[in-house]
Amino acid sequence: MMLEPDKRSYCFGVADKLEAERDLTDDEFSAVLLCDEPGFDEYLSEKARAIREKYYGKAVYLRGLIEFTNYCKNNCYYCGIRRGNANAERYRLSEEQIISCCDMGYDLGFRTFVLQGGEDPYYTDDKVVSIVKAIKEGHPDCAVTLSIGEREKDSYQKFFDAGADRYLLRHETADKEHYEMLHPSELSFDHRMQCLRDLKEIGYQVGCGMMVGSPYQKTEHLVKDLRFLQGFKPEMVGIGPFIPHHDTQFADCEAGTVDMTLRLLSMIRLLLPDVLLPATTALGTIDPRGREKGILAGANVVMPNLSPSDVRGKYLLYDNKICTGDEAAECIRCMAMRISSVGYETVVSRGDHAAFGME
């Protein structure tokens, strides 16, 4: 007869196995996700910190986030800028405005610019190409990251040829049925996954990721997410808690928790030791020290906002978003202080994934 394993030593043992083997069975992943033993989070995050320090020391990489449009042709049920939200006050930045954000960001020490937006057909392939080229011409020592949703492979190829280095496209959930509960039927799980494979094939450093605690999410979905990350091997993984937006059908749903987000950050660090892992704005929104806690759980990237201050309050994916009132210079000062308060250091660097050297 099998003896019921002592729960406490079982959980800690599974954490040791994750560290040593970078792999677990589905049941073991669930056990780590569900473990409520005192001291377990600290045990897991100590291991995650040790690994991140082995690869990246105390460095925290900065990405300057430019939210350049909040027009969106999609209607994701969770998102405050979905097309069906008539209350969203829409804006777009011109190429000149985007370039001047980058110029200012460069002077502040940013060497990566992330252009994020809704899926806005106004920015045709040619416009995106022109923007990417202009940034790379002005700042050849910088990396450009795009985060503009799903396009076809030839468009992704054009952006890459224009100089874009990285692409962020969260997979949102690795379970097709769950995906369909979060998106209208015109959006397809298979197409999103195809986009991720296309991006990788083209040669981008690719970021994917999921929301933590999104509506209908179960432990088994998170296990699938981890399994997907393990197989896909993205260069970056962006995760953050789901936070309800008052003008969506998920307005009354519960937000994801800090603790589950931190636990997943540590697990992802152990699973993909040299991955780039941001402590996200959403994490900083549900907890005033969320980003610092994220760094202590194994994250090594932060993405301060570089958008012009007059549009910041309009890029509202969820309620109570932080840093909507600050100037960029203020944001970076604040961020550097937060990071050093937990013993880490923001650095001026492109912060490429270890497998991609600077050319």
Q: Which residues bind ligand SAH (CB under 6 A)?
A: 78-79, 116, 118-119, 147-149, 169-170, 172, 211, 240, 242-243, 245, 282, 317-318
Q: How far is the CB of 72 from ligand SAH (least distance, A)?
A: 6
Using the minimum distance from each CB to ligand SAH, give the nearer residue, 44 or 210: 210
Q: Which is nearer to ligand SAH, 168 or 275 (CB)?
A: 168
Distance of closest approach, residue 318 Cβ to ligand SAH, in angstroms: 4
Q: What are the helix (H) ranges across 22-166?
A: 26-34, 40-56, 95-107, 125-138, 153-162
Taking a C-beta distance cutoff of 8 angstroms, is the pair 37, 7 a contact? yes
Among 177, 182, 218, CA closest to 79? 182
Q: Which helix (H) or strand (E) holds 10?
A: helix 7-21
15 touches 24 (CB < 8 A): no
H or E element, residue 190: helix 189-202
The smaller minimum CB distance to ligand SAH, of residues 115 and 339, is found at: 115
Concatenating the DSSP letter of every residue in 300-338 gives -EE--B-S-HHHHTT--SSTT-SSSS--HHHHHHHHHHH
CB of residue 134 vs ligand SAH: minimum separation in angstroms? 21
19/175 with CB nearer ligand SAH: 175
CB 282 within 8 A of CB 264: no
Rounded to a whole number of angstroms, the minimum distance from the CB of residue 159 to ligand SAH is 14
Asked if residues 91 and 137 have their Cβ atoms less than 8 Å apart, the reply is no
In sequence order, the 6+-apart residues with CB closer than 8 A to the CB of 301 are 60, 61, 62, 63, 236, 276, 277, 278, 279, 351
Closest approach, Cβ 301 to ligand SAH, in A, equals 15
The span from the CA of 343 to the CA of 345, in Å, is: 7
Could you tell me which of 241, 225, 251 has the C-alpha nearest to residue 290? 241
Q: Which is nearer to ligand SAH, 160 or 344 (CB)?
A: 160
Shortest separation between residue 345's beta carbon and ligand SAH, angstroms: 27
CA distance to 59, 213, 229, 282, per residue, from 33 (Å): 27, 12, 16, 20
- State which residue, 195 or 270, has the beta carbon closest to ligand SAH: 195
Radius of gyration, alpha carbons of the chain: 20
DSSP code per residue over 147-187: E-----HHHHHHHHHHT--EEE---B-S-HHHHHHHS-TTS
Q: How far is the CB of 324 from ligand SAH (least distance, A)?
A: 15
Name which of 248 and 346 has its Cβ closer to ligand SAH. 248
Nearer to ligand SAH, 53 or 319 (CB): 319
For ligand SAH, the closer CB: 45 or 280: 280
Phi, psi at residue 56, to the nearest 5°? -125, 5
Q: What is the nearest approach in angstroms of ligand SAH to the Cβ of residue 327? A: 23
Give the shortest CB-82-to-ligand SAH separation in angstroms: 9
Say how far apart CA 179 and CA 256 lie, in whole Å. 17
Between 117 and 351, whose beta carbon lies closer to ligand SAH?
117
From the CB of 140, what's the least distance to ligand SAH, in Å?
26
156's tokens: 């992704």
